[in-house]
Structure 1
Amino acid sequence: MISKDTLLSNDLFGDLNPRDWPISISDLPPGSALVGGSVRDALLNKLSQKPDLDFVIPTNAINFSENLSKKINGTFIKLDEKRDIARLVINGWTLDFARQVGENLQDDLLRRDFRINAIALRLTGKPEIFDPTGGINDLKSKKIVAISEKNLLDDPLRILRGFRFMCELDFELEKKTKTFLKNNVDKLSNIAPERMKMEILKIVNSKWNSSVWKTYLELQLLNEWNDNNFPYIELERKDISTKNLIFGSFLSKLIFLLSDEGLSRLTFSKNQIKRCKNLRFWVHKINKLDDLSEDERFQLHIDLEEDLPSFILFLKERDSSPWLKRWKDPHDPLFHPSAPFDGHLLQKAFGIPPGPFLGELIRYLSREKAYGRISTNNEAMEVARKWTLENSPFL
C-alpha cells in the first residue's frame, strides 16, 4: 500500500511540474531540495504559472549557479557571498540557490522563519516531502506559527513578514507568534529601508479583511514610521477585498500604515509620496464635501483622478457607489477633467506666450467643461476669447 506521505509527495511533485522548469532535476547536485514559497503555494493550490523556485543545495551554491547559468544561458546574480546565495533568471523564471545551513536539511529548515515556510521537497531519487516542524498541519489550520523567537530576531524583517503572510494567505497569527512579533517591533528599526519598503509594498498589494485591521492595530508594527494621525476607523468599516474596490485599496492602506515622513524615510518615490499627500489632504476634508466650492471640488478631481478609488473607500455608503460609477466612465468631464484644447492651439489662436497665464486659461476651460458649461469646440473657443479679453495682461 502506498502511504499518504508518498501520495502527497507525488501530488506535490506533479503540481510543481518540473518538466516546465528551465532546468532539469538531473542538473542539481545530490542532496538538493526545493523549499519555501513554491512548495507552500503548491500545497495550497495557489501556484503561479512560473513560480519562484528556491533550492537548497549541500555546498558551493554560488559556484554551482554560475556554472549552471552558462549551461542554460541564464542571467547569474550573486545575492549574498557570505551566506553563499545566488540567483538565476531565465525566460521569466527566477531560481534561487542557497547553500544548506547546518549539517543536514533538517538543520536548515529549523533555522527558517515560520513553519509553513519550512517544508521541503527532496529531489534526490523519488520526490519526498520533508516537514520537520509541522508546517503542513499549519496550512490545513490556516495558522502562521514561528519556529522560534530567535529565528525571527536573526533577521528582524521576519517580524513584518509574518504580518505580510497573514495578509496574503488570509491566515491567523498563532497566539505565541503574535506575542513574538509584538514584543520585538522595535527591532525593525535595524532593517535597511529598501528591504522594509519591499515588504510593505507586498502588504499593501495584498487583500485585507477585518481581522487584518484588528491585528495591525494590536501590533502597531510601523509606529516608528507613522504619526498615527489618520482616521483608520472609517476605512476599517470597508471590506478591502470587495471586488469593486480592491483596485483602490493600495494607496488607502499605504497612508494608513505610513506618514509622509515615514514614506520618505523608507525610500518611497517622490511620485508615491505626492499621491499619498494628496489623498491624505482630501480624506481629512471628507466630512465637508458638501461645502466644497466648485473650484475646490474641481481641484479634488485634478489631484485624485488616478487615485479616486482610494478616496472612495473613505466615503459614506450613499456616496461610494455613485462616485465609483462616475469614475468608471472615462467620458465624465468632472471625474476625468481635461481641457477642450491643448496649449499650442490656444497660443496660436490668441497669441498667448507659454507661462502662468496660459495655464490659468487652460484650467478655466477645463473647469467650465467639467461642470457642463462648455459642450462644443465653438463654445469653448468663444469662452476662451472672452476670458482672454477680460484677464489678459498683454492687452
Structure 2
Amino acid sequence: MTLSPSEALLTKWLLTYFYQRLPFPQEWLPQKSYWVGGSLRDAYLAWLQGRAAGDPARDGGMESSASVDLDLMCAVDPVGWAAAVARRLGAGFVVLDPERQIARIVLAKLTVDVGLQAGSTPEEDLRQRDFTCNALALDLQREQLLDPTGGQADIRQSRMRMVHPDNLSADPVRLLRGYRQAAQLGFGLDPATQEAIRERAPLLANVAAERVRAEIVALLEAGIPGLAHLQAAVAAGLLQAWLPHLKPESPGFPQAQAVWEWAGRWRPLYPRTLAELAQPLTSSREGRGRLLAVVLAALLWDPAGTEDSVLLTRTAERVETELERLRFSRAEMRAIQKLHHLLPQLQLLLTDSPTPAQQWRLYQQAGSLFGGLALLAVATGGDPQKLESWLKRYEDPQDPLAHLVPLLDGRDLLHSLGAKPGPWVGQLLQDLQEAQAWGQIQTRAEALSFARRWRGQQKD
C-alpha cells in the first residue's frame, strides 16, 4: 500500500518514538509484532500536538507523552518471548493473564506488556477492543499503521467512540472506563456510545469492586474534568449498585469541584500544607494521596441534617458501607470518617472566636489532615477569610498551637511522680497540653508542678 506524504511522515515519527523507548535491540522483537494500546494512542496525540505547533517532525512531543510504558501484541507465544527477554535484561517478569497469554517485563523506568493476538489477523484483534482510539496498531515489521475502526479520525475529533456495543458487554468495566479515559484525554463521548453505555449500565454491578474503584479513583484524580465525567457516569446509571445515594444533582459534585479549585488557589499561599496533602495516606505501594480522600469526602458529604446527631450517624454509617463495598483501604475510610466528624466542629468554630485551647484541640485531632479539613470546610461554604488565620498557623511548623511540642511525655511523668502506668497518664498529658495551649505553663518546671498538683487532686 502506498502512503501519502503525511502518512509516511506520521509512520516514520511513530517508529522513531517507539524505538527511542524500546529498552532492548529491535532485533529481539518477535516476528509479526505490533505496537498497540495507550502508549500508541498517546504518541498519536503527541504527533497532533506537534502539528498544531507547526512542526509535525519535532521531537518535543516525544518527551512529553503522558504514557511511557509500551504494549505489544504478537501472534506466537508472548509469555515465552517475554520471559526470555526479561532474563537477558535481568528484568522483572510477571504473567498478568495466563488464559489470554499476557505478560509484563518490568524495568526501572518502564514496563513492556505483551499479549497474544486475538483472532487470525491483527485487524480482528483490534475490532474486539473497547474504543476506537485504543484500536490502533503499528505493524513493526511492515512499518504500517493499522486502523480498522476509524480511530485516527476520532482522535483528531477528540471523540470517544465505542468499537461495537458487544465489546462493552464483553467486559462491563469498559462502560466506566470510557468516561475515565475521556476525562484524561480531554475527549467527549459520542451520542451512540453514551446510549449504549446507558442501556448496559446494570452490567457494572457484576464487575469486581477493585476494578470499579480503580476507575472511580482515576476519575477523581483527573480533577475537575474527571468530576464532570463522573457526574455523567452517575447520570447514565453506572454507579447505582456502588454509590446509590450519589445523584447527578448531589451537592457532592460542586463540593468536590470546590476542593480542587481551592487547592489550586491555596497551593502558592500554603505550599507546605498542600505538599503534605499530596503525600500518601499509607506507605503501601498503592497508597493514594490525602487529597484524594478530601475530594472523596466532599463528594460523599451531605450537608442536609448536619445539625442532627442521628442523621449524622446514619450518614456516617452509609458512607462507611459504600466505601467498604468499593474496597477502599481502612486508612482511607478512617481519614474520610475523621474529616466528616471534624467538619461540623470547624464550621462551628468559624462562626465564633475560638479559645487557644479549642484551636489546639482541633489541630491535634485533625493531625496531618488539617489542610484537607480546611479545604472541605471552604468547599462546603466556610468563610475562606476566617480559615486564613487557621491555615497560616498550620503552615508555620513552629506555631505553638498548630504544632505544639509537649513539655513532658509519659516517661517523664512516671519517673518524676514515681507512679505506676495507667489511664491517668493519657488524661494528664492531655490536660498538660491544653494548659500549655492556654499559656498557663511554658516551661518544663511549670509542667512538672502542674502534674504534681493534678496527681494530688486525683488521689484526694
Please state which band the TM-score falls in when normalised by the shorter chain.
Answer: 0.7 to 0.9
The AA in structure 2 aligned to 1:32 is: S
1:199 aligned residue: 215
Distance 1:41 1:369 in 2: 56
Change (3 A) 1:177 1:282: farther
Paired residues for 1:154-169 under 5 Å? 154-169=170-185
Superposed, 1:32-181 pairs within 5 Å as 32-45=33-46, 46-47=64-65, 51-126=68-143, 128-181=144-197
Q: Does the aligned pair in 1 maintain the 2:231–2:253 contact within 8 Å?
A: no
Which amino acid in structure 2 is aligned with residue 269 of structure 1?
Answer: S
2:334 paired with 1:274: yes
Taking every aligned residue pair, what percent have the same amino acid on both sides? 28
**1:322-337 alignment, distance < 5 Å:** 322-336=389-403
Q: By how many angstroms is 1:216 displaced? A: 4.4
Tell which deviates more after alignment, 161-170 or 33-42: 161-170
Is it true that 1:348 corresponds to 2:366 in the alignment? no
Q: CA deviation at 1:4?
A: 0.9
* 2:259 and 2:295 in contact (8 A); partners too: no
- For residues 89-123 of structure 1, give each alpha carbon's deviation from its aligned partner in whole angstroms, at most 9, with x where no partner exists: 12242111110111211111111111221222221
Report the TM-score when normalising by structure 1. Answer: 0.85
- Seen in structure 2, the aligned counterparts of structure 1 residues 310 and 109 have a Cα distance that, compared at 3 Å, is farther
TM-superposition CA deviations, 1:166-190 (whole Å, max 9, x none): 3323332222222333332321221
Contact 1:337 1:367 in 2 (8 A): no
Aligned counterparts of 2:153 and 2:390: Cα–Cα separation in 1: 45
Conserved 8 A contact 1:313-1:320: no
Paired residue for 1:261? 321
Aligned mate of 2:292, from 250, 264, 273: 250
Q: 1:371 offset after TM fit, Å?
A: 5.0
Write the distance in 2 (CA, Å) between the matches of 1:233 and 1:190.
25
Query: Partner of 1:23 in structure 2?
Result: 24
Deviates more, 1:199-208 or 1:81-90: 199-208
1:10 aligns with 2:12: yes
Query: What is the distance in 1 between the residues matched to 2:175 and 2:240?
Result: 14
2:414–2:420 Cα contact (<8 Å) kept? yes
The DSSP-based 3-state class of the residue aligned with 2:223 is coil
Question: d(CA) in 2 for partners of 1:326 and 1:15?
Answer: 49
Q: Is the CA contact 2:224–2:257 (under 8 Å) kept in the aligned structure 1?
A: no
Q: Does 2:328 correspond to 1:308?
A: no
Q: 1:297 to 1:137 in 2, by over 3 A?
A: farther
Deviations 1:348-382 (A, max 9, x none): 22234333221112222333444555544444444
Task: Point out where structure 2 has 5 or more consecutive residues left out of the alignment.
Answer: 47-63, 268-273, 279-289, 301-317
Q: Say which SS state the counterpart of residue 208 (structure 1) adopts.
A: helix
Amino acid at match of 1:6: A
- AA matched with 2:416: A
User: In 2, are the aligned partners of 1:149 and 1:180 still within 8 Å (CA)?
Assistant: yes
Kept in 2, the 8 Å contact 1:225–1:261? The answer is no
Q: Is residue 74–residue 116 contact of structure 2 (8 Å, CA) maintained in 1?
A: yes
Unaligned runs of 5+ in 1: none
- Amino acid in the other structure paired with 1:64: W
Cα RMSD, aligned residues only? 3.1
Counterpart-to-counterpart distance in 1, 2:164 and 2:440: 66
Q: Which amino acid aligns with 2:454?
A: W
One-letter amino acid matched to 1:273: M
Do the aligned residues in 2 keep the contact of 1:168 with 1:207 (CA within 8 Å)? no
Deviation at 1:233, TM superposition (A): 5.2
Structure 2 Cα separation of the partners of residues 341 and 272 of structure 1: 32
- Give the Cα separation in 2 of the matches to 1:321 and 1:178: 43
Does structure 2 retain, via aligned residues, the 8 Å contact 1:227–1:259?
Answer: no
Provide the secondary structure at the position in 2 that maps to 1:332: coil
Assess if the C-alpha contact under 8 Å between 1:249 and 1:309 holds in 2.
no
Which position in structure 2 is the counterpart of 1:240? 260
Q: CA deviation at 1:275?
A: 1.0
Matches within 5 A, 1:200-215: 200-209=216-225, 211-212=228-229, 214-215=231-232
How far apart are the structure 1 equivalents of 2:6 and 2:42? 19
Q: Contact between 2:259 and 2:375, CA under 8 Å: does it hold in 1?
A: no
Q: TM-score, normalised on structure 2?
A: 0.74
Larger deviation: 75-84 or 128-137?
A: 128-137
Aligned length: 390
